[in-house]
Amino acid sequence: MSRERLSAVDVIRAKRDGHRLTDDQIDWVVDAYTRGVVADEQMSALAMAIFLNGMDTAEAARLTQAMIDSGERLDLRVDRPTVDKHSTGGVGDKITLPLAPLVAACGAAVPQLSGRGLGHTGGTLDKLESIPGWRAQLSTDEITRQLTEVGAVVCAATDGLAPADKKLYALRDVTSTVESIPLIASSIMSKKIAEGADALVLDVKVGSGAFMKNVDDARALAEALVGIGKQHGRKVTALLTDMSVPLGRAVGNAVEVEESVEVLKGGGPQDVIDLTVALAREMLTLAGIGTDPAEVLANGGAYETWARMISAQRGDPEAALPKAKHVHTVTAPETGVLANLNAYAVGVAAWRLGAGRARKEDAVQHAAGVMCLAKPGDQVAQGDPLLELRTDTPDAVSAALEALEGAYSIGNAPAERKLVIDTVR
Ligand code: URA
């Protein structure tokens, strides 16, 4: 006979029938699921009921709190303001790499607890692990020491942080219940609030390579994220940014590190520079720091902090990065302007080449990925290289080429894209 206060079936039925869940129901079901009393099949049914019937702001905030309470809370306060950034995930999204040292070089502390890639979007830790010697796993004491001494740390989230979200996210991934605004918002914010940064800037991606395919859905997600953050007393701003085309030219692991280093040394693709500076400005505003990040990026100050950040985690910032054993070049079928380049397709191609993983346990190929040698708006001649597919496993090329079918076209110049579409405060 169960000694539980509530029943999973009643909670599922309430949401299935379109009712609000009470605070007590939310607290209980999250706690009971974390303890293993509520079974995966019951939580799957509840996730689908939430996916279909939604949650109001108060329910989503309570769900966030319950997931925070399922684990530990970190206290990463140091002698300067802490400010964090989170992206909802995109293709070629290496922005954390130049951004964290840049904002630290401007005077804030940036604790960036990150994840690995699953599916078509890359993971920051997979990218950094292509640097020889670099280690992702740090203790809380090591994180605090590095924040004090260097100002920036990018490392793996500790196991005790929001364990309910870890379980629920894995379940959502295999039950097609990821793309739900209250579930995404509570998942992201539970981890970010448990990390304890004073302020947070969210990069909410919009377009083919993002969870949110249109601006209205992205704005609704941004408002939900900012609303939850405010309810928890955090300073939060969200930028809605374009993810219809890959960011920069490099999509993969080592190739994205290389491109980030170019940006840190004052070069690199303009869209990566612009987004890094836009996010840095918001982070510094929330931290109350008036330094101009564009100047610090241009004068090499951010690269110096990058080198110290990588060395502090036993990486060699000057080491050569792995190179792919096999390169396949895709050329322009005709002369004209590249009209589009679908971010999702490029993400899937990079993943199939070995840059990503299908299951959590899989290893990634550090050198695999796609180089976008032309971007929408570029003039190309027939036979010019458009994409470079890099892999250690040449058998993977045909599947990557299949993913790229229809992903680009030569035609009219594309309409001007705004990189930062909107800001939600
Ligand atoms: N990132 C998360 O951490 N959670 C989600 O639900 C989606 C993206």
In short, whether 96's Cβ falls inside 6 Å of ligand 1 is no
How many other β-carbons are positioned within 10 Å of the β-carbon of residue 236?
24
> For residue 8, is pLDDT > 50?
yes
Q: How far are the Cα atoms of 18, 114, 335 from residue 117, in angstroms, in the given order?
A: 34, 10, 36
For ligand 1, say whether the CB of 88 is within 6 Å of any of its atoms: yes
**CB 169 less than 6 A from any atom of ligand 1:** yes
pLDDT score, position 285 = 97
Locate the domains of the chain by residue range: 3-54, 83-158+173-312, 326-411
Q: Where are the beta strands (DSSP E) in 207-267?
A: 235-242, 250-252
Q: Tell me whether residue 165 is one of the annotated catalytic residues.
A: yes
Tokens of 136: 């992702």
Per-residue pLDDT tens over the stretch 258-267: 999 999 999 9
pLDDT at position 352 over 90: yes
Tens-place pLDDT, residues 149-203: 999 999 998 889 999 999 998 899 888 898 899 999 999 999 999 998 889 999 9
Q: What are residue 341's DSSP bridge partners?
A: 408
Read off φ and ψ for residue 285, nearest 5 degrees. -60, -45
Question: What angle is formed at CA 126 by the lines to CA 320 and CA 358, rounded to 5 degrees?
Answer: 130
The Å distance, Cα 58 to ligand 1 centre, comes to: 19
- pLDDT tens digit sequence for 113-158: 987 766 677 789 999 999 999 999 999 999 999 999 999 999 998 8
Amino acid at residue number 11? V
Question: Options 3.40.50.300, 1.20.970.10, 3.40.50.80, 2.30.30.40; which CATH number does 3-54 get?
Answer: 1.20.970.10
- Angle at Cα 174 formed by Cα 389 and Cα 183, nearest 5°? 105
For 23-65, the pLDDT digits (tens) are 999 999 999 999 999 999 999 999 999 999 999 989 999 999 9
Per-residue pLDDT band at 416 (split at 50, 70, 90): confident
CA dihedral 205, 211, 215, 221 (to 10 degrees): -90
* Contact predicate 297/276, CB 8 Å: yes
Average pLDDT over residues 338-354: 96
Handedness of CA 114, 116, 122, 125 (dihedral sign): positive
Residue percentage of the chain with pLDDT more than 70: 98
CATH of 326-411, picked from 3.40.630.30, 1.10.150.120, 3.90.1170.30, 3.40.50.720, is 3.90.1170.30
- How far is ligand 1, taken at its centre, from the CA of residue 119, in Å? 12
CATH 3.40.1030.10 fits 83-158+173-312, yes or no: yes
The dihedral formed by the CA atoms of 259, 263, 268 and 273, expressed in degrees to the nearest 10: 120
Rounded distance, CA 197 to CA 19, Å?
A: 34
Q: For the ranges 4-13, 91-100, 352-361, 390-399, which has the lowest average pLDDT?
A: 352-361
